[in-house]
Amino acid sequence: MNTLPINIQDGGIRLSCVLETPGTGACPLVIVLHGFSSNKEKGHTIRACHAMHEAGCATLRMDLYGHGESGGTFQDHTLHKWISNTMAAIDWAVERQAFSCIYLSGHSQGGLVAALVAGMERERVRGLILRAPAFMIPRCAREGSMLGYTFDIHHIPDSIDVIKGLTLGGNYIRVAQMVDEDEAIRRYAGPVLLLHGDEDDVVPCEESVRAAGMYARAELQLLKGETHHFDQCTESMERLITGWLRRQEDRT
């Protein structure tokens, strides 16, 4: 694989990315999104990318707004900003004219964002690979309970303290309350692979079960004994991703 650091601009914010390509002409590109308080260098994300490479795909791993080596602060990040970041990456990929098609993949909050963008970019997203997608984030924001913190849904606090000593701005909640995750699912008719561990204690696997029933073309794989960070059944995760991508490309 050829590896190249890439910077993508989105509204004046620099997004730090890593592009990995097989170097064999036009091929599919998978844009890969990390989760809440994570980054593009997490081991399970890199292993997922390896599986995509085995299927003959290039990958673009991104640090999203306020995370990793990208611009912005964690406290100021919102779903809208991550959506904008992802759409900027799609624009970048399309402008290069070097890829045969574009897939989106995301873990946890990144999985939710990938699903939301696919609903908006239906004509440009060939398929989705969602790992433990956090579809419940908007619903939790509307119900007044997130990350163990409860709040008055009509009087959002300016900030809340969340995991790892991080502070999350109130605008995160305000934006999440207005996101319609179900509409995004209904709008996307392309193929979707849903991977979820049955021992995930962060995002219940029922979130993926519910989404699989709503998507037009979903394949759901529940990994027995797997956790939220795909650190127990990594080989199974890789095998499922590689096989699914190969089947999609065989159908084109």
pLDDT at 147: 83
User: Considering the chain, what percentage of its residues have pLDDT values greater than 90?
Assistant: 90
Mean pLDDT score of the chain = 96
0.75 exceeded by the pTM?
A: yes
Which listed CATH number (3.40.718.10, 3.40.50.1820, 3.40.720.10, 1.10.3720.10) goes with 2-135+181-250? 3.40.50.1820
pLDDT at 235: 96
Give the tens place of pLDDT for each residue, 218-247.
999 999 999 999 999 999 999 999 999 999
pLDDT at 162: 82
pLDDT at position 164 over 80: no
Count CB atoms within 10 A of the CB of residue 11: 11
User: pLDDT grade, residue 102 (50/70/90)?
Assistant: very high
Q: Helical H runs in the chain? A: 43-54, 79-96, 109-120, 136-143, 170-177, 181-187, 206-214, 234-250
Give the tens place of pLDDT for each residue, 118-158.
999 999 999 999 999 999 999 999 999 988 889 999 999 99
- HSE, side-chain direction, 13 A CA sphere, residue 14: 8
Q: Three-state SS across 140-167?
A: HHHHCEECCEECCCCCCCCEEECHHHCE
